[in-house]
Chain A
Amino acid sequence: MKKLKKIILLTFIFTISCLSLFNTQAAAEKYGGQIVLASIADASTLNPAIESDSSSNNINNLVFDSLIRLDEQLQPQASLAENWTISDDNKTITFKLKKNVKFHDGVEFTAEDVEFTIFSIVDYKSNSMIKPYYDSLLGAEEYFNKISQLNKLREENVISGEEFTEDAEKAFKDFKNAGGIKIIDPYQIEFNLAEPFAPFITVALDLGILPRHILEGKDINRNQFNTNPIGTGPFKFIEWKRNEHIVLEAFEDYHQGRPYLDRVIYRIIPDQAVQITELRTGGIDYMTQPPPEMIAILENDPDLNILQTDTVSYNYFGFKLSDSIFEDIKFRQALSYAIDMESIVENILMGYGQVATGPFPTSMWAYNPDVKRYPYNPELASKILAEMGWQKNQAGFLEKNGEILSFKLETRQGDYLKEQMAVIVQEQLADIGIKVEVVFAEWTSFLVRLLNANYETVILNWRGSADPDGYAYTVWHSSQFDVRNNKRYKNERVDELLVKARREMNLEKRKIYYDEFQEILAEEQPFIFAYYVDQVFVVNDDYKGWVPTPQREGILLSLKNVYLEN
């Protein structure tokens, strides 16, 4: 009996060791190879603190790591952090950091790098776009207000450049000393908020950490570092040939284990038709958002794999609400009935999208599907307009008090889907007698007109950060007229709900506020929420391990786990 037991035990041990040997071999086989990614546009800076375009973001997500990263449900997961705790009053968040995390130059990552990164961003001298993410930190609001006050004084020549610098430096120092960020020890850092702010972790801490030992005391806007970055991410930077490619290689000491692939080549190929040819002939292994009409063809290619996921953006047909004709809710509802969104999704997006119902993409936990919808009904639209006193004239256009119902519709030049949608909207509104002039506007000058509310109607899309707040407060609160609420929307109940929602930490309670907010917007139609475009990625079928997430090209965060299958 004893012998038998021994034999069984031995057999068991033998099998286990064989299996584990087999396992390590299988894992070893996953290592190696390279992948070529394609992008329409080149990056502009490889410094995550001042990046503003998606190509830069793609590369920075690979070279830099962050305290947290968002998962497929857009919930924060620890990355450089071990874990975090939130105090009972919801105003103090303490992060415990991982030990033995190395930058690509071998220096250890500590809490000082986190503090340095955030101070570099909020520094009034930096060109960072994400300063507002940190306005909930203790002392931040006072600091930002002071800087904007000083900016105004300098513009009006009340104070000189030197006086500005002196006062601004002092305000910045005061903010640093206000205790918004406190280093407890090299592996613990505390964030103190002026008031509870639910989106803080998701929005403010999903951020590439800069190496303090390289950048301290230097100008981060213009620095060699920005074309030669060093981070703690899974891939380290090798070379950047402008308008040609960016090359990264696996970082052996990555704290979550070395990525499988040896090398990543990010090629800049501006023409999508050429990207498709390269993909089918093996020149590249990955592309995003192929033209919808091409997807069916690519699906038939056995060497390619199509990955699809939700998005965190929505497209809309927006109005300047202070214009007299767009003030009336009934008029906006009539427009909603007059546009056949279903057919736009079917015929322009080829089904790779959904009709939008409100300001939150379906991928967000705050999304509320039970709101008023406006199915295509041109008769009803005509009836509403007739009730408002608009009569058809001999030419077939609606007229009231001798004035024809007409407006200008602008969209971004070169954005193929939006251009097509603009033309369809023009046709469908012409059917009920509204004259629409479509303009494809050059982007940079268009942006300035948006800021100055110098437009009538637009077709655009909105992409906020991963928390609903970036789709709600910043876009619809009446305090944001000079910022992102350039359509001038104002509703007191909405203002109240949005403030409550950003102060509430409990997701379920937050959702109640957001549900009501979405019902109000659906009723009032301050925008016609048009559609959500699915994210579509086409990859070479030899590469496995992708995890698409709703964040824009969030799929690239999974590149560290992607491997080449033989």
Chain B
Amino acid sequence: MYIFIVKRLLITIPIFIVISLILFTLINLAPGGPEAVFMGENISREAAANIRANLNLDKPLPVQYYNWAKAIIRGDLGHSLQTGESIWSLISTNLVNTLILTFSAFILALITAIPLGVLSALKENSIFDRIVSFLSFIGISFPPFWLGILVIMLFSYQLRLFPASGMSVYGLENNILNRLHHLILPAFTLAVVNTATFIRFTRSAVLETLNENYIKTARAKGLNENIIIYKHALRNALISIITIVGFTIPSLISGSVVIETIFAWPGLGRMAVNAVFQRDYPLIMGINMIVAVITVFSNLGIDIIYTIIDPNITFD
């Protein structure tokens, strides 16, 4: 197992190099640079050249990439072109904010979706199944920005139960109740889409396993139905559920731009989009590299989990 993990880790190095090269090229191909953002409509050719020189953007691209990569190896992500702040500190605070939101939503989605999905599969075509299917279709079809606004209109404006935006009230940052109060609406909105998707996948995964021959065999030999479902069917269905859940993990880190924007949540998604519009090259690189690292490692983690759940899967 350790050899497998080391091998996988070694493979990631060329992957990161290729990712960073592609990113770096793409970013620099986009028309307009940070100097345009600085100057706005007051843009002038001379000032633009001056600012590019001040930001070290006048060097040839390979030199810029080399300098960036050299710093990265030392663990230095550089400084934001727009604000001059350390990118590591910008990313780390915003990443924590994003994780608070996305993990709450993720857990909320899992604990609602898996039981509902399993139950609808077991009671296939019953009224319960139809209602769950109907609701999950609605959940998938709701554009999150619209759902967000609806939720704010209802729970913040009409019922005045929850604050419409922000992470906490100033001065109450350490008050867990205040934080929870602010977390509920965005986490719920973000969870809706994932819940719907997870329900659909859980349901079909369980249905598929229930039709497998080994389940029929188990039933034929008169095994207790509970044991069939919980020990044989569910455990096998989990593999495909984990695959789909694994796919959503990178999105937990990169965050949801739409939800973060509507609920004024100071997360990484919003920061990434702003960085793109502001052509803040090192910040874009930094955020994307962090997301790439986490994606690669979460995939590795998922592979390890497979072997624990299913002894048939080995490290070869």
Q: Spell out A's residues near B (CB within 8 Å).
A: 42, 44-45, 52-53, 124-127, 129, 131, 147-148, 151, 154-155, 221-223, 226-227, 241-245, 247, 265, 267-271, 273-274, 277-278, 280-281, 283, 442-451, 460, 462-463, 482-484
In B261-297, the 8 Å CB interface with A consists of 261-264, 266-267, 270-271, 274, 277-279
Give the distance to chain A from B175, nearest Cβ to Cβ, in Å: 16
Q: State whether A155 and B49 are in contact (beta carbons under 8 Å apart), knowing that A281-B157, A444-B278 are contacts in the complex.
A: yes
Closest partner residue, chain B, to A144 (CB atom): B46
Q: State whether A277 and B164 are in contact (beta carbons under 8 Å apart), knowing that A151-B53, A242-B94, A245-B170 are contacts in the complex.
A: yes
Closest partner residue, chain A, to B280 (CB atom): A44
Closest partner residue, chain A, to B152 (CB atom): A277
Q: Is B222 located at the chain interface by the 8 A CB criterion?
A: no
- Are A273 and B84 in contact, CB atoms less than 8 angstroms apart? no
- Are B84 and A223 in contact, CB atoms less than 8 angstroms apart? yes
Choose from B37, B50, B53, B164 the contact partner of A278 (Cβ within 8 Å): B164
Give the distance to chain A from B92, nearest Cβ to Cβ, in Å: 11
Residues of B within 8 A of A274 (CB): 149, 152, 164-165, 262-264
10 A-B pairs (CB sep. < 8 Å): A148-B46, A151-B46, A221-B54, A227-B85, A242-B90, A244-B167, A267-B165, A280-B157, A444-B30, A447-B39
Q: State whether A482 and B160 are in contact (beta carbons under 8 Å apart), knowing that A227-B83, A270-B261, A444-B277 are contacts in the complex.
A: no
How far is B264's CA from A265's CA once the two chains are assembled, in angstroms? 15
- Are A484 and B53 in contact, CB atoms less than 8 angstroms apart? no
Q: Is B211 located at the chain interface by the 8 A CB criterion?
A: no
Closest partner residue, chain B, to A41 (CB atom): B274
In B52-78, the 8 Å CB interface with A consists of 53-55, 58
Q: State whether A447 and B43 are in contact (beta carbons under 8 Å apart), knowing that A127-B54, A271-B262, A283-B164 are contacts in the complex.
A: yes
Give the distance to chain A from B97, nearest Cβ to Cβ, in Å: 8
Q: Is B82 located at the chain interface by the 8 A CB criterion?
A: yes
Residues of A within 8 A of B79 (CB): 222
Residues of B within 8 A of A42 (CB): 274
Residues of B within 8 A of A53 (CB): 40
- Are B149 and A273 in contact, CB atoms less than 8 angstroms apart? yes
Q: State whether A44 and B82 are in contact (beta carbons under 8 Å apart), knowing that A281-B157, A444-B278 are contacts in the complex.
A: yes
Give the distance to chain A from B160, nearest Cβ to Cβ, in Å: 6
Residues of A within 8 A of B85 (CB): 227, 242
How far is B84's CA from A223's CA once the two chains are assembled, in angstroms? 7
- Are B264 and A129 in contact, CB atoms less than 8 angstroms apart? no
Q: Is B153 located at the chain interface by the 8 A CB criterion?
A: yes
Residues of A within 8 A of B40 (CB): 52-53, 129, 447
- Are A444 and B279 in contact, CB atoms less than 8 angstroms apart? yes
Residues of A within 8 A of B14 (CB): none
How far is B51's CA from A477's CA once the two chains are assembled, in angstroms? 25
Give the distance to chain B from A241, nearest Cβ to Cβ, in Å: 7
How far is B156's CA from A449's CA once the two chains are assembled, in angstroms? 43
Q: State whether A484 and B164 are in contact (beta carbons under 8 Å apart), knowing that A125-B54, A243-B94, A277-B153 are contacts in the complex.
A: no
Q: State whether A44 and B47 are in contact (beta carbons under 8 Å apart), knowing that A244-B266, A274-B152 are contacts in the complex.
A: no
Give the distance to chain B from A402, nearest Cβ to Cβ, in Å: 33
Q: Is B42 located at the chain interface by the 8 A CB criterion?
A: yes
- Are B165 and A283 in contact, CB atoms less than 8 angstroms apart? yes
- Are B163 and A243 in contact, CB atoms less than 8 angstroms apart? no
Choose from B55, B83, B152, B264 the contact partner of A270 (Cβ within 8 Å): B264
In B133-160, the 8 Å CB interface with A consists of 149, 152-153, 156-157, 160
Residues of B within 8 A of A223 (CB): 84
Q: Is B38 located at the chain interface by the 8 A CB criterion?
A: yes
In B112-135, the 8 Å CB interface with A consists of none
How far is B44's CA from A45's CA once the two chains are assembled, in angstroms? 21
How far is B264's CA from A482's CA once the two chains are assembled, in angstroms? 39
Give the distance to chain B from A364, nearest Cβ to Cβ, in Å: 18
Residues of A within 8 A of B49 (CB): 151, 155
Residues of B within 8 A of A242 (CB): 85, 90, 93-94, 266, 271
Closest partner residue, chain B, to A461 (CB atom): B41
- Are B54 and A243 in contact, CB atoms less than 8 angstroms apart? no
How far is B42's CA from A227's CA once the two chains are assembled, in angstroms? 24
Q: Which 9 A-B pairs have CB atoms at the shortest separation, nearest pair first? A: A222-B84, A444-B32, A243-B266, A445-B31, A244-B266, A483-B44, A445-B32, A447-B36, A269-B264
Give the distance to chain B from A478, nearest Cβ to Cβ, in Å: 15
Select the residue from B49, B82, B156, B170 with max chain A CB neighbours within 10 A. B170
- Are A460 and B41 in contact, CB atoms less than 8 angstroms apart? yes
Residues of A within 8 A of B267 (CB): 243
Given contact pairs A448-B31, A460-B41, a sample of 19 additional A-B residue pairs in the complex whose CB atoms are under 8 Å apart: A45-B84, A127-B51, A129-B47, A151-B53, A155-B49, A222-B79, A226-B83, A269-B165, A270-B262, A274-B262, A277-B153, A278-B163, A278-B165, A444-B33, A444-B37, A447-B39, A450-B43, A451-B48, A462-B41
Closest partner residue, chain A, to B173 (CB atom): A241
Residues of A within 8 A of B231 (CB): none
Give the distance to chain B from A121, nearest Cβ to Cβ, in Å: 12
